[in-house]
Structure 1
Amino acid sequence: MTKKILFLIPDLEIGGAQRILIFLSNILLKKKFKIKILYLKKKNRNTFKLEPKIKAKCLNLDKETNNFFEKIKHNLIRIRKIREELKDYKPSYVISFLTTVNIITIISSINLKQKIIINERNDLKKEIPFAWKFLRFILYRFSHKVVFNQPDSNKILKKFVSTSKIYFIPNPYILRKKNSKVNREKIILFVGRLTYQKNVNLLIKSFYKSNAIKKGWKLIIIGRGSQLNLLKNKIKRLKIKNNIFFNGTSKQIEKWYEKSSIYIICSRYEGMPNTLIESMYYKLAIIGTKIPGVQYLIKNRKNGLLINSNDEKELTKNINLLLDNKKLRNKLGLNAQKTILKKGNPNLFQNKWLKILK
């Protein structure tokens, strides 16, 4: 009998968790699983295209409010609707992504027979509202499995979940296009959401204070987010509009990875960044912050450069180091690709998931 999988996620907007969900869905589809995706809200932005055999349904539960009682009411509605979907679809497994959806999914499945597999895709030390943190502590133990991709998350999860339920599955490289022989340009690249977490403000300040502008380099920023206007205004104030460019979301991201020479990720916290994995695959010289999800892949001066979190001076110094040393850029990029071909092998990702779903 064909096994049914029901995925749950807040939205299908282009993002790291969504990319992994789609990649996993396609793997399971090829393995003859029946796939359905539920997402809570629809945003007016680019979303991932799905295979025709994958069913997707938006529950339109995107109401936001600051009223405490309204929040409770709204989450009860979410729980009721998700429970109805579980009863109707009767999946063998339910795979949910991200903390709030994980918690709501566990509650929705009480006294039902489905096995709940929850995914944590970020740093568990990140501050979240106390109520969600408390519910995570109480409820995660009732899941069938807990999958995480941030190496340090195990230390926190094992405090309230049995170690037999906890699985570390690193993100795989997903872009499969073979590197074409193109000349690298004087481009520093950033790809990701423009939010407080990603700390793009630091990148702009360090780019401005480095020798990059003087030497004819450009900073290309691909992504959207809540800080877009703030960052544009900063660039305007610094009078560097001819040196820093916002490209929104790109459907041809591979071309930017191929053309660029340096990739910078200066996040305050992360799970395991897909964009870091992609830049490693495309042999870019990488500068990243010393956070677990980055340090799992990048070893300082071996396959990239590491800086302390939010350290503008150190980031500026390392930008200048790479600007002036093409040999170092090539060495770091080549070693980065070797690392990700080993640690991010899609077959390892697939095999670990198939083992969980036996």
Structure 2
Amino acid sequence: MGGAERVMATLANEFVKRGHQVRLVTLKKAVSAYELDKRVEFIGGGADINSGNFLIKRIQMISAVIKGTLFYRRQLREYKPDIILSFLTYTNLLSVINNRISRVKYPVVVSERCDPRKRSKLLIKLCNIVYPLADCIVCQSKVIQDYFLNKNPKSVTKVIPNPVNEECINKEEIIKRRKLIVAVGRLSNQKNYDLLIDAFSDIANEYSEYRLEIYGEGPERERLQKKINRLGLNDRIQLMGTKTNVMKHIADAQLFVMSSNFEGFPNALAEAMASGLPVISTNFPSGVAKELIIDGENGYVVDINNREQMADAMRKILGDPLTITKMSKNNVLLREKLNVKTVANMWENLFNDILEKRTKNEKN
């Protein structure tokens, strides 16, 4: 139930609609939080890591690696794919390494779904060695593409954004907006909701009719609730938990805020914009916020952990109804740029280029 999983499900559904055969493979159990077309073959390896005991968990991890590798190799032997598309770090590494040691070679495309610099030193080094061996590294922003090219100029890279799933956004015209600021994402350190709560507390007296709603669950819930209570804002800030079709529920808010310390390509931000919400985002290192947002036109980008900038950006938007209307109209235009068909075309063109290049090499 994550952003990468949602994109994989969206692409799989679109590819089978176009007449392609798709086998979606997970090393865990074949359970999807997102609807899959019946024509998508969904296969699970059944790997399970669920123990709270440190030693048992490590044993389960080793077992899962062995079991997952054997399962994956068996899938390749049975299916004989034209091309392999892999998401997420460990499966990316598995796909490329397996391809290097296998007798039969398949084209492998790996997709970097988060900021590759936000990992352990060992994992960063391993990815920098292994990823360039893939037929292509697909990145979600120019910043991340430049990172991989700086590490290895011979790497084949391409930037492809996430598609916006039309079922997850609001398309209804908003007649009247609620005096509401919203945020969506896991309650974790990464999302830095302390920044958002502090910035809201700075403008709370100026905008006394406004509330802040944060949608999501996670390990930070208890601590964040105590902070909200300590600030005396428990009647103004609500931790709303998870909600299905959240963008359709919050589309009539005045403002969407992303306060994260780091992100890959945040679906929540793109979906909020495509739903017509004015937005504020931190300038997280992957560079996606700067690529999506033009200051003053469809939102504002502020420095990470900069409480003053965040509060000022809130004032600029909430204090001017004309700005809200302009930003809303401009953000709706993102629907076409990140349309599923548009993004799927980019993937399909990449696959065709790789297969044509491979065919030419084989002939030579």
**Structure 1 and Structure 2 fold alike (TM over 0.5):** yes
> Which residue of the other structure, out of 24, 27, 49, is the alignment partner of 2:14?
27
Distance 2:264 2:229 in 1: 32
State the AA in 1 paired with 2:323: L
> Which residue of the other structure, out of 138, 161, 164, is the alignment partner of 1:170?
161
Aligned to 1:261: 254
Aligned to 1:105: 95
Partner-residue secondary structure (3-state), 2:22: strand
State the AA in 1 paired with 2:211: K
* 228 and 40 in structure 1: CA distance in 2 versus 1, 3 angstrom threshold: farther
Distance 1:256 1:212 in 2: 26
Distance 1:214 1:33 in 2: 53
State percent identity of aligned pairs: 26
* 277 and 209 in structure 1: CA distance in 2 versus 1, 3 angstrom threshold: same
Q: Does 1:185 align with 2:175?
A: no
- 1:280 is displaced (CA, Å) by 1.3
- 1:342 is displaced (CA, Å) by 5.3
Aligned to 2:77: 87
4+ runs of 1 displaced by more than 6 Å? none
Provide the TM-score with structure 1 as the length reference.
0.86
- 1:148 is displaced (CA, Å) by 1.0
Distance 1:29 1:249 in 2: 30
Q: Is the 8 A contact 2:111 2:137 kept in 1?
A: yes
- 1:355 is displaced (CA, Å) by 1.0
- 1:196-211 aligned at under 5 Å gives the runs 196-211=189-204
Distance 1:43 1:300 in 2: 42
Distance 2:248 2:271 in 1: 12
Higher fraction of helix: 2
Between 152-161 and 281-290, the greater mean CA deviation after superposition:
152-161
Aligned to 2:86: 96
Superposed CA RMSD in Å reads 2.6
Aligned to 2:115: 123
> Which residue of the other structure, out of 31, 34, 37, is the alignment partner of 1:48?
34
Distance 1:43 1:212 in 2: 49
Q: Is the 8 A contact 2:30 2:42 kept in 1?
A: no
Partner-residue secondary structure (3-state), 1:22: helix
Structure 1 stretches of 5 or more lacking a match?
Answer: 1-12
Aligned to 2:340: 346
Q: Is the 8 A contact 2:281 2:300 kept in 1?
A: yes
Aligned to 1:5: none
Q: Is the 8 A contact 2:117 2:124 kept in 1?
A: no
Distance 2:270 2:205 in 1: 24
Q: Is the 8 A contact 2:264 2:288 kept in 1?
A: yes
- 1:231 is displaced (CA, Å) by 1.8
Between 174-183 and 111-120, the greater mean CA deviation after superposition:
174-183
Aligned to 2:362: none
Q: Is the 8 A contact 2:128 2:151 kept in 1?
A: yes
Q: Is the 8 A contact 1:268 1:310 kept in 2?
A: yes
CA displacement 1:153-196 (0-9 Å, x = unmatched): 11121245565721111123322653234421011111122222
* 23 and 74 in structure 1: CA distance in 2 versus 1, 3 angstrom threshold: closer
Distance 2:300 2:290 in 1: 10
Provide the TM-score with structure 2 as the length reference.
0.85
> Which residue of the other structure, out of 302, 305, 312, is the alignment partner of 1:307?
302
> Which residue of the other structure, out of 231, 235, 245, is the alignment partner of 1:252?
245
Q: Is the 8 A contact 1:79 1:107 kept in 2?
A: no
- 1:212 is displaced (CA, Å) by 6.2
- 1:182-331 aligned at under 5 Å gives the runs 182-211=175-204, 215-291=208-284, 292-331=287-326
State the AA in 1 paired with 2:189: Y
> Which residue of the other structure, out of 19, 25, 36, is the alignment partner of 2:23?
36
State the AA in 2 paired with 1:207: F
Aligned to 2:349: 355
- The number of equivalent residue pairs is 342
* 151 and 91 in structure 1: CA distance in 2 versus 1, 3 angstrom threshold: same
Q: Does 1:334 align with 2:321?
A: no
- 1:139 is displaced (CA, Å) by 1.2
Aligned to 1:140: 131
Q: Is the 8 A contact 2:30 2:46 kept in 1?
A: no
Distance 1:150 1:322 in 2: 26
State the AA in 2 paired with 1:122: C
Aligned to 2:47: 61
Q: Is the 8 A contact 1:95 1:118 kept in 2?
A: yes
* 104 and 30 in structure 1: CA distance in 2 versus 1, 3 angstrom threshold: same
CA displacement 1:317-346 (0-9 Å, x = unmatched): 2223322221222222222333x2454243
Distance 2:339 2:38 in 1: 26
Aligned to 2:359: none
